[in-house]
Amino acid sequence: MFGALQEGGGEPPHGKLGWAIDEDFGSIEKLIKKMNAEGAALQGSGWVWLALDKEAKKLSVETTPNQDPLVTKGSNLYPLLGIDVWEHAYYLQYKNVRPDYLTNIWKVVNWKYAGEEYEKVLA
């Protein structure tokens, strides 16, 4: 799950995950805008997730406070991508400007890994 952030990331998703993003959010740009907005709005520390609802076979954006894992939102949700919005994740580089961190995190997201996880869960 947490392998989704690795060196060499940032290339937009392809294949089934890319198609699912277009179907469920309209475009990768709209997904990123939604995740950035929800991550920036999260009070205090926590996470913003791209999740797959295994039963509905739909993608969703979820947030969890503090250290809470995605499973606290429902056992049918599978994490494809988790973005840490705790200050420790960005403070040294971005100080307290979480929106700048969220804008730049997409340059390193490993969509290939997220796509592999997506296909594995649906198989």
pLDDT value of residue 91: 52
Decide: residue 23, CB within 10 A, 0-12 exposed, 13-18 middle, 19+ buried. Answer: exposed
Superfamily name with CATH number, domain 9-122: Iron/manganese superoxide dismutase, C-terminal domain (3.55.40.20)
Find the mean pLDDT for residues 64-92.
Answer: 85
Closest CA to 121 of 31, 53, 24: 53
pLDDT value of residue 116: 95
Count of Cβ atoms closer than 10 Å to residue 11 Cβ: 10
Q: What percent of the chain has pLDDT over 90?
A: 55
CA distances from 5 to 30, 31, 37, 58, 72 (A): 20, 17, 20, 22, 22
- pTM of this prediction? 0.85
Domain residue spans in the chain? 9-122
